[in-house]
Copies of this chain bind each other. A is one copy, B any other.
């Protein structure tokens, strides 16, 4: 079906990719010219022959996905998108890496049409590609074979394959037999510090064979070899493909060729002149020969036909499956019922329990109402309590279920979930212990930067996990997560607040939400009569107000420590103090309320106390630097949770006394 191009046509197009890329890096005086040059042959083949896309409809749900995991080679993707006919005019290429341009230093999917995922932090793109491929398989199992046509092509660098996250994700892909995934490894033997043999002498192809992939080795500048390998790769029925492409960085640049210097700095005017001479290139800067535009126009036209055929196939399925078709639309839109919170409140678990267990009960209702919710745990489902009970497991070649098994691979889980979110329609969740959020932090950050609706479920959220000791006890993690812009962290105190956590997460369509849930049982918060459950959705609210007027002290607490605030209030009120208890499950959402509400709940002028079993410093933004911050600023210890509560001052007695003596 693909057209044949003459060697001359290919050479001209490849030279165009190379010259556009080096011209843009030179003009920006910043960027990475060597890798686009080394990969121009491969990306030409991908975009001119394999990738199914519609540049005028970059969101076409049946499109193939292209992932440039080596995001530093961003000029490569910008050059390709421009040539392929996406809305990325030459002017944007000339503004590479400048304020306001569509061509930032690393590709950002939320910024540039045609960019499928945000890459740069190495290894993440490989994980995202696994997520895309898994997403297509999940959709094919739900919404028919059309989605089987969706393929994922990724290009990765030495750095990508050295990073552990790519190994974790690739192991998952091999296990699941994601045959719709082709990863091409830019084996150019050069990294920033010099030749890869400074630090890297493993047999990467063999490693991918060990993961269960179909592995081939080619000369990355030989178009016949590239095509033959990709043809075999896309023909695979039960394995993902890995193509080790031996390439040369700055291929075509007479002096920069095969050097580390070509990685991260402009080639310079002289070397550019020498390169263009070497390529037989006589056109001015940023020139694109008409023949090259014409070639990609033909490709776009061919792809239009493919798209129409695909749409026809889907339409046929829609006709035969009208209910599923409506479901597909709801799924793609990640539809959440408007009354979800009300539904959850009606179904609240009545028994007091750990919030991880309460969350699991509530999650069952969410899962019923929101089919987009699909996820799993890093081998901790029995502990994180995150299984969707009415659904099965996704496993090798079985993609009907909603429960994913990520293995003990938190970072891979994060990157795969991000890919699932990007693949459309899926609201992924990933679960582990809170302390291990550190293992996947780069992916959490990218979900926040990339506006992805992911739900990160972290349990065992404080020292009160007990006997596992300080290696497993979070101290700084809640605040470390709160530090990430665009991430909301919800630490619920009881069933009601856990329902609110899920409602908040389902409502944040353009941003991720993290939960911090307890291992230990917590009591239901006693709230004032007349309390409105909707106020929980504001992030913080008055759970119990001071009796008879303005409070002498406002105690702000979260999660399992709200019970301490409630207990201390009772004693302090008995001792004649007027005490307000504010429960603050989500400070980010609270911060978004108007100043009047914020000040009505936590008045600036009031004497304020915070209670949370974690570091105290950042609390002072809410309680002032003269407030009393009760928490723990050192590592915990291995002992039963009740002993730790005694030793570290997290009892009603201790808290009451601290507040009492502080109030004076």
Contacts and interface: CB of A to CB of B under 8 A. Distances in A.
Contact of A106 (B200, B209, B210, B471): B471
A442 interface: yes
A167 B167 CA distance: 8
22 contacts: A104-B637, A105-B638, A106-B638, A121-B471, A123-B164, A162-B168, A164-B164, A164-B409, A175-B202, A193-B380, A193-B381, A199-B379, A199-B406, A203-B209, A207-B210, A209-B210, A439-B442, A449-B470, A476-B484, A476-B485, A482-B617, A485-B633
Q: Which of A163, A640, A647 has the most CB of B within 10 A?
A: A163
Interface string A517-533: 00000000000000000
A597 interface: no
A507 to B, nearest CB: 20
A412 interface: yes
Interface in A476-504: 476, 479-480, 482-486
A174 B198 contact: no
**Which A-B residue pairs are the 4 nearest by beta carbons?**
A164-B164, A104-B638, A199-B407, A120-B471
A188 interface: no
A193 B379 contact: yes
Interface string A94-107: 00011111001110
A469 interface: yes
A3 B659 CA distance: 64
Given A162-B407, A192-B379, A198-B395, 17 more contacts: A28-B467, A30-B467, A31-B467, A99-B638, A106-B469, A108-B470, A164-B409, A175-B201, A198-B405, A200-B407, A206-B206, A480-B480, A483-B615, A620-B625, A622-B625, A623-B625, A624-B624
Interface string A3-29: 000000000000000000000000010
A121 B435 contact: yes
Contacts of A469: 97, 104-106, 108, 120
- Integer count of this chain's copies in the complex: 2
Nearest to A410: B163
Interface residues of A, number: 115
Contacts of A154: none
Most buried by B among A108, A382, A469, A626: A469
A455 interface: no
A569 interface: no
A471 B175 contact: no
B192 A175 contact: no
Given A175-B200, A192-B382, A467 B97 contact: yes
Interface in A56-82: 71
A299 interface: no
Contact of A171 (B162, B206, B471, B634): B162
Contact of A191 (B193, B196, B408, B633): B408
Interface in A447-477: 449, 466-472, 475-476
A384 to B, nearest CB: 10
A209 to B, nearest CB: 7
A382 B409 CA distance: 31
B467 A446 contact: no
Nearest to A646: B99
B621 A377 contact: no
Interface in A377-410: 377, 379-383, 393, 395-396, 405-410
Contact of A486 (B99, B119, B635): B635
A158 interface: yes
Contacts of A475: 485
Interface in A139-197: 158-159, 162-168, 171-172, 174-175, 191-193, 196
Contacts of A101: 638
Interface in A191-235: 191-193, 196, 198-207, 209-212
A411 interface: yes
Contact of A71 (B171, B471, B618, B644): B471
A209 B211 contact: no
A379 to B, nearest CB: 5
A484 B474 CA distance: 10
Contacts of A380: 192-193
A491 to B, nearest CB: 16
A202 B166 CA distance: 14
Nearest to A487: B476
Contacts of A99: 637-640, 643-644, 647
A382 B104 CA distance: 23
A462 to B, nearest CB: 14
Contact of A172 (B106, B159, B199, B395): B199
A307 B172 CA distance: 46
A604 interface: yes
A203 to B, nearest CB: 5
A44 interface: no
B119 A471 contact: yes
A28 to B, nearest CB: 7
Given A206-B209, A483-B479, A106 B168 contact: no
Contacts of A123: 164
Interface in A347-384: 377, 379-383
B171 A408 contact: no
Nearest to A395: B198
Nearest to A164: B164
A239 B496 CA distance: 57
